[in-house]
A and B are shown apart, each in its own frame.
Chain A
Amino acid sequence: MVELSIFQGVSWNVVSDVQQLFSYPFMVNALEAGTIVAVMAGVTGWFMVLRRQTFAGHTLSVIAFPGAAAASLAGLPLAVGYFGFCGLGALALAGIAGSRRSLSGESAAIGSLQALALALGFLFVSLYQGILNGLDSLLFGTFLGITSDQVTVLLVVAAVTLVLVCVAGRPLFFASVDADVARAAGVPVQLLGFGFLLVLGLSVAETSQITGALLVFSLLVTPAATAHQLTARPGLGIALSVAIALAVTWLGLALAYFSIYPVGFYVTSLAFGIYVLVRLGRGILDRPRATARLAGATS
């Protein structure tokens, strides 16, 4: 067997390697946290991609960084910073969207907010002065040191948000694909828009705690975008989005455990790899069909 220096302690025997993964409490916590986060990110990400709100989602993830830095500075649990700042960020984004300016004006305002968030994060890190050795993990994620209390908080927040998404599911879907018709049918489109931003903020806050603030998209966007490419059925799409998010999280955590590279890198690269393969496959599948349609239309 070729010894790969980047993989350490791996026996290349699947059963014993998996047993080894589950033999440490910190690893069990990481797998539990990763599972909760993947399910939540898979569901909310699917709606975010459908609503074309990935820029808002990215801004929320950048806002998560000063949140975590401020919590470190104040000596509070990181989760307080993540949930607090992402919640406030979602309210700010809802305010921007609610002010009904043009779409370009809206994205400019969101972009400005994003720059401010990064600057604040840098300020808090500088103010901390002492050893903020967690900067890397704030930005790019870690699976070390997740406590079972943290897992409980993640689980409660995820459960509450998923219940909300289930209750609002169909009208939210309607408002996302066809806001004008939904409004005429009596769907509270604006309220759902605000509510969804809040749910998105909570999802980003959860995901940041595994992938780090800058790699949130690996779980929130890439699996969902892949699922949208794979199927046009809403129910199946959400299931696939969750399945892909779970697969890359579990595999990423396992690879990170046995290797010297960080978990964020693996989760992101795996998700990206699947996305590229699916895009290529979709391109090949759609070409003959599009040609057939065109031929049918002209005949």
Chain B
Amino acid sequence: MTAKAAAVRFEDAAVRLGGRTIWSDVSLTVAKGEFVAVLGPNGAGKSTLIKAVLGLLPLAAGSVSVLGRPAGQASGAIGYLPQRRNFDAGTRIRGLDIVHLGLDGARWGVPIPGLPSRARETERVREVIELVGAAGYAEEPIGQLSGGEQQRLLIAQALVRRPQLLLLDEPLDSLDLPNQAAVAALVRRICRQEQVAVMLVAHDINPILGYLDRVVYLAGGKAVEGRPEEVISSGTLSRLYGAPIEVLRASDGRLVVVGQPEAPFVHGDRHAHG
């Protein structure tokens, strides 16, 4: 893998927050157009990793390059979806407008209707809303939509500038299982169709297992990366979590993780292939 092909490359990186080392000696690479999940227990520093990619947090050691540039200098080519709760039910702003902000929200001034550039932008917004399958409810106030519908619109917002790298921090949190699988399938489809590298933070592996190219596992201040079947193995996970974990292979080839401390349920049969 050449440096040119890497979307994100950490080399011996470490982050310290408030005197505590969150993780250290982290070396990992996310290739262009690759779907990578960032997994690990609560407090392992998953969101910290995303913030380091965005250049919002300085590294205590090592280096990180993003799309061939130092972190923080590629923000135009990154789509970012922060960890969040849902929009308040009283937020009476259309989903369409929220998506549009992803395109022009940082630009000074006010939108002037009727300009040709405005029409082009509106066209792009429609296109990306179509891509995530949110056309049916994009005109509704976003506060009145379900968690899954809001999440699709926010992914559209992150995608609207045609980024080369998409950073999604716990986009499946607070979604029910069918919606988790549907959003994971959507991210996978976008990753392939638009050739976008995706780093998706999740804390339950099962709903996304069938859609991933590779995983990064953070635990105990260290990181392990690799193909899902290499990393998600009884030995690796037991070591990382510091608790006995068993990984079973279902008859159709999917991995089922049993005994994961935070999510002690098995639901491998719910998800279709991506």
Contacts and interface: CB of A to CB of B under 8 A. Distances in A.
Interface of A: 50, 166-171, 173-174, 177-178, 180-182, 184-187, 228-229, 231-235, 286, 290, 297
B108 A171 contact: yes
Contact of B80 (A181, A231, A290): A181
A173 B101 contact: yes
B113 A166 contact: no
Contact of A185 (B75, B93, B110): B75
27 contacts: A166-B109, A169-B110, A170-B104, A170-B108, A170-B110, A170-B111, A171-B106, A171-B108, A174-B105, A174-B106, A177-B91, A181-B82, A181-B102, A181-B105, A181-B157, A182-B106, A184-B82, A185-B80, A185-B105, A186-B106, A187-B106, A232-B92, A232-B94, A232-B97, A234-B93, A235-B113, A290-B144
Given A181-B157, A233-B94, A297-B146, A168 B113 contact: no
Contacts of B97: 232-234
Interface string B74-95: 0100001110100100011110
A177 B94 CA distance: 11
B141 interface: yes
B93 A181 contact: no
B54 interface: yes
A286 B90 CA distance: 13
Contacts of B141: 232
B140 interface: yes
Of all A-B residue pairs in the complex, the 3 with the closest CB atoms, nearest first, are: A174-B105, A169-B110, A232-B141
Contacts of A185: 75, 80, 102, 105-106
Nearest to A187: B106
Contacts of B111: 170, 235
B126 to A, nearest CB: 16
Contacts, number: 77
Nearest to A297: B146
A237 B75 CA distance: 31
B75 A170 contact: no
B98 interface: yes
A171 B81 contact: no
Nearest to A188: B106
A180 B157 CA distance: 13
Given A169-B110, A177-B91, A177-B98, A232 B105 contact: no
B270 interface: no
B56 interface: yes
Nearest to B95: A232
Contacts of B105: 170-171, 173-174, 181-182, 185, 187
Contacts of B54: 184
A177 B154 CA distance: 12
Contact of A180 (B82, B102, B139, B146): B82
B108 A181 contact: no
A169 B107 CA distance: 9
Contacts of B93: 50, 177, 232, 234
B98 to A, nearest CB: 7
B51 to A, nearest CB: 9
A231 B93 CA distance: 8
A199 B157 CA distance: 29
Interface string B136-148: 0001110010100
A143 B111 CA distance: 36
Given A169-B110, A177-B93, A234-B93, A184 B56 contact: yes
A178 B82 CA distance: 10
Contact of B107 (A170, A231, A235, A286): A170
B179 to A, nearest CB: 11
Interface string B113-129: 10000000000000000
Given A181-B82, A233-B97, A290-B144, 18 more contacts: A166-B109, A167-B108, A170-B107, A171-B105, A177-B93, A177-B98, A177-B101, A180-B82, A181-B101, A184-B75, A184-B82, A185-B75, A186-B75, A187-B105, A231-B92, A234-B93, A235-B111, A286-B144
Residue of B82, B92, B108 most packed against chain A (CB within 10 A): B92
Residue of A170, A180, A286 most packed against chain B (CB within 10 A): A170
Contact of B101 (A168, A174, A186): A174
Nearest to A183: B56
B15 to A, nearest CB: 17
B178 to A, nearest CB: 11
A236 to B, nearest CB: 10
Given A184-B80, A232-B93, A166 B75 contact: no
B75 to A, nearest CB: 6
Contacts of A170: 101, 104-105, 107-111
